Structure 1
Amino acid sequence: MIILIYGASHTGKTALAQKLLEKYKYPYLSIDHLKMGLIRSGQTTLTPMDDEELTPYLWNIVKEMIKTAVENGQHLIVEGCYIPFDWRESFDENYLREIRAFCLVMTESYIEHNFDTIKRFACVIENRLDDSGLNREELTSENKRNFDMCRKLGESYILIDERYDIDDAVERIIRSK
């Protein structure tokens, strides 16, 4: 099974992938790690700030890694904000049968009441170099956009409203088989 976890920055994608790794021993790929490896090695002239260009660039690589994992009968979790909403168009039915995807979405209320906690847990799994640019309005706007896209396209999402229960999220993903 392939599990895709995507969504806005700071929604807990990496923490959820890490929890799935610990509980089910499924390896995971952080698209951020791939991004930084390609940037630091000079394989691309893109920078970490080039989000719009990075999504198609990285997705072209990641989708082929996913296909390879499916063809080899391997489990893989892929997490990151560089998974496009039209990700399904990259796969035929043989691959889609093996893929489960979930967008993590925080409600405006959750962000409003937990913004300091969101910032505090930003480095729970990996160290962010500079998080000073995180602001409530952009985070709210991006999550609202993602929620609207999930509903429009019929994509599965995990809504983080009153609290983020990572164990519930893990169980929901595993039950989706």
Structure 2
Amino acid sequence: MIILITGASHTGKTLLAQKLLEKYHYPYLSIDHLKMGLIRSGQTDLTPYDDDKLTDYLWTIIKEMIKTAIENRQNLIVEGCYIPFNWKDSFDEEYLSQIKFFCLVMSEAYIDEHFSDIIGNENVIEKRLPDEDFTIQFVKQENEYYLKNCCQFGLDYILIDKSYEIEEYCQL
């Protein structure tokens, strides 16, 4: 089984991937690690700020890794924000039946009530550099963008609205 986890920044994608790894012993691929490896090695002239271009560039690699894992009957968790909303177009039905998709979305009410918690938990798995542009308004816009696109593309999403208990989302 392949598990795809996406969502806006700070929604807990990496934490969910880590919890799934611990529970099911499935390895996971951080798209951010792949991105930085390609950038730092000089394999691309893109920068960490070229989000749209990075999605197109990285997806050409990731979708083939997913196909290879499925063909070899291997489990894999792939997490990151560089999964396009039309990701299903990259696979035939034989592959799609082996892929489970999660998009984590925080509601505006949750963000309003828990913004300090969101900031306080930003380094739970990975160490982030401080980001002055990471404001409550930015978080709301990003989550609204993911919700809108999930609805537009008919994708399932997990709405984080009242509380955030990551273990609730670890059932496959």
Equivalent residues, number: 172
Which residues of 2 match residues 162-173 of structure 1 at below 5 A? Answer: 162-171=162-171
Which residues of 2 match residues 51-70 of structure 1 at below 5 A? Answer: 51-70=51-70
Q: Distance in 1 between matches of 2:69 and 2:99?
A: 11
**Cα drift, residue 130 of structure 1:** 3.0
Which residues of 2 match residues 1-177 of structure 1 at below 5 A? Answer: 1-171=1-171, 174=172
SS in 2 for 1:114: helix
Q: Distance in 1 between matches of 2:120 and 2:70?
A: 36
SS in 1 for 2:11: coil
Choose 129-138 or 139-148, whichever is displaced more: 129-138
Q: Distance in 1 between matches of 2:122 and 2:132?
A: 11
Choose 144-153 or 48-57, whichever is displaced more: 144-153
Aligned-residue sequence identity (percent) comes to 62
Gaps of 5+ in 2: none
Q: Distance in 1 between matches of 2:132 and 2:97?
A: 40
**Cα drift, residue 153 of structure 1:** 2.0
Q: Distance in 1 between matches of 2:130 and 2:38?
A: 19
SS in 2 for 1:10: coil
Choose 142-151 or 72-81, whichever is displaced more: 142-151
- Letter of the structure 1 residue corresponding to residue 46 of structure 2: L
- Letter of the structure 2 residue corresponding to residue 23 of structure 1: K
Q: Distance in 1 between matches of 2:36 and 2:123?
A: 17
Q: Distance in 2 between matches of 1:83 and 1:120?
A: 26
Gaps of 5+ in 1: none
SS in 2 for 1:3: strand
- The normalised TM-score by structure 2 is 0.97
**Cα drift, residue 23 of structure 1:** 0.7
Choose 117-126 or 128-137, whichever is displaced more: 128-137
- Letter of the structure 2 residue corresponding to residue 102 of structure 1: F
Q: Distance in 2 between matches of 1:131 and 1:71?
A: 40
- Letter of the structure 1 residue corresponding to residue 20 of structure 2: L
Q: Distance in 2 between matches of 1:84 and 1:153?
A: 10
SS in 2 for 1:105: strand
Q: Distance in 1 between matches of 2:118 and 2:152?
A: 27
Q: Distance in 2 between matches of 1:153 and 1:46?
A: 27
Q: Deviations over 1:107-136 (max 9, x none)?
A: 001111111110111110011123332111
